[in-house]
Amino acid sequence: MRNFLSTNLCTKFSPSFDNRECDHYQYAETSNMEINGNECGYCKCPSAYRCVADVCRPVPLSHSSVSDFLTCHYLYYLKKILGIETRPAHFGIPLKAGKLWDSVKQKHLGVQINLQEIINEYEIPPVVVAKVRAIYHAYKELEIQVDPGFELQAAVNLTYDIIIPPSSFIPSITIGKEAVNLWQERIGQTEDQRQWKFPLQVNGFYDRKYPTYFCEDKMSSRPEFYLDPFFVDSQIGTYFLADPNLEYVIMEVVKFPQQKENKKKEETPDEIYKRVYSDVLSRPSNYFIGFNREKKMYGKKFFRGEFNLQAIKERYQQIVIEILACRWSGNFYKNFKSCSNVLPGIQCDFQNVCKTNCVSEQIYKIRERK
């Protein structure tokens, strides 16, 4: 099937000689810098990200993008189509603490990372830095080990074909003044054989991958969320789907310190560091979930069979069709019930965008095209 641009969906459309391309259009590329004709392209305009008229090719999915779409279709549109993202300095404390811990752990395992640059870029408060530093120093004091033979930040590349039969909702698209029915483009297929087939790509990264299992690092004030397969089903199940050789996962969850403030006096970051460090050493299993003193390891193991991988695969297949339907109609509607609870107890970062229809350049930025 030819790849058309639905010109009625973009006010900046600048047609080429055949009215099927656009001067602003930029093809997506593979990791080898080759044109990827199976992925939705980009827009070269400075204030744009994906080409909103390229509705015949899917945008690669990830666990986080699927979560965004399920939470609120408009949230997905802002982040994955328009490419708007929150500047790191405006992240919430949980995300800042998690980012710092991930970076500390990666550096500990051999990755070249400038922690001070991350602290500055994310504007992480000194108190948070002190707590993460205390956790890490206790980690070293307890001589916690990891199995050798790992690959850090190994890519998750899950690709399989999506097949849409004629019974599914496939609309026409507008090319200039011409309406094109997508099913009529299958002239070489009989009515019984006619189908729309395209590859779906799901991306992500393993924190630490081994030949037969992988480990995920998490820091949270609510570690129980990561200790139940029900709540991590989407992310972990996706990682299992991407590699049939993986037998289990170890969730290495660290509890973010929640010590109450000293009401008698205001504590300095150094005083908080000492208090947290002492508390972690006195009861390490409270912070390093599943800590084993003999093995000097921590974490909880989940096996592949605990996740319904077929259901996860079928969900991706359905969601990509729903996303395409939103792109065809140009209607990514808002879910107002999620505005104050995008995650348990966490307000959506884009609530002000929805309220004002304005995007502050101090708070947000456009993602880099990859």
DSSP letters of 302-327? EEGGGS-HHHHHHHHHHHHHHHHHHH
How does residue 1 score in pLDDT terms, banded at 50, 70 and 90? Answer: very low
At residue 311, φ and ψ (nearest 5 deg) are -65, -40
- Output the pLDDT for position 98: 94
Residue 4 predicted with pLDDT over 80:
no
* Residue 285 per-residue DSSP state: H
* pLDDT per position as a tens digit, 265-306: 788 999 999 999 999 999 999 999 999 999 999 999 999 999
Q: What percent of the chain has pLDDT over 90?
A: 56
Interior angle at CA 52, CA 351 and CA 65, nearest 5? 50
Residue 87 predicted with pLDDT over 90:
yes
Token couple for 38: 């199976």
What CA–CA distance (Å, rounded) separates 40 from 37? 8
- Output the pLDDT for position 50: 94
* pLDDT per position as a tens digit, 134-143: 999 999 999 9
- Output the pLDDT for position 261: 65
- C-beta separation of 257 from 279 below 8 A: yes
- C-beta separation of 234 from 63 below 8 A: yes
Three-class DSSP category at 42: strand
Across residues 29-35, what is the average pLDDT? 85
* pLDDT per position as a tens digit, 346-366: 788 899 899 898 999 999 999
Tell me the CA distances in angstroms from 128 to 7, 272, 341, one per residue in order: 49, 9, 23
**Number of residues assigned to the chain:** 370
Q: Global pTM?
A: 0.84
List of residues 6+ apart from 3 with CB closer than 8 A: 37, 54, 56, 57
Tell me the CA distances in angstroms from 308 to 63, 162, 237, 304, one per residue in order: 15, 19, 7, 9
**Beta 25-26 vs 196-209: how paired, if at all?**
unpaired
What CA–CA distance (Å, rounded) separates 8 from 175? 7
* pLDDT per position as a tens digit, 175-232: 666 666 655 554 455 555 556 666 778 889 999 999 999 999 999 998 998 999 999 9
| 54: nearest Cα among 332, 331, 330, 315 | 330
| 253: nearest Cα among 286, 293, 210 | 286
DSSP E strands in 59-195: the ranges are 61-62, 84-86, 151-164, 172-175, 178-181
- Output the pLDDT for position 258: 85
What CA–CA distance (Å, rounded) separates 176 from 20? 8
- Output the pLDDT for position 42: 93
Q: How far apart are the first and last CA of the chain?
A: 25
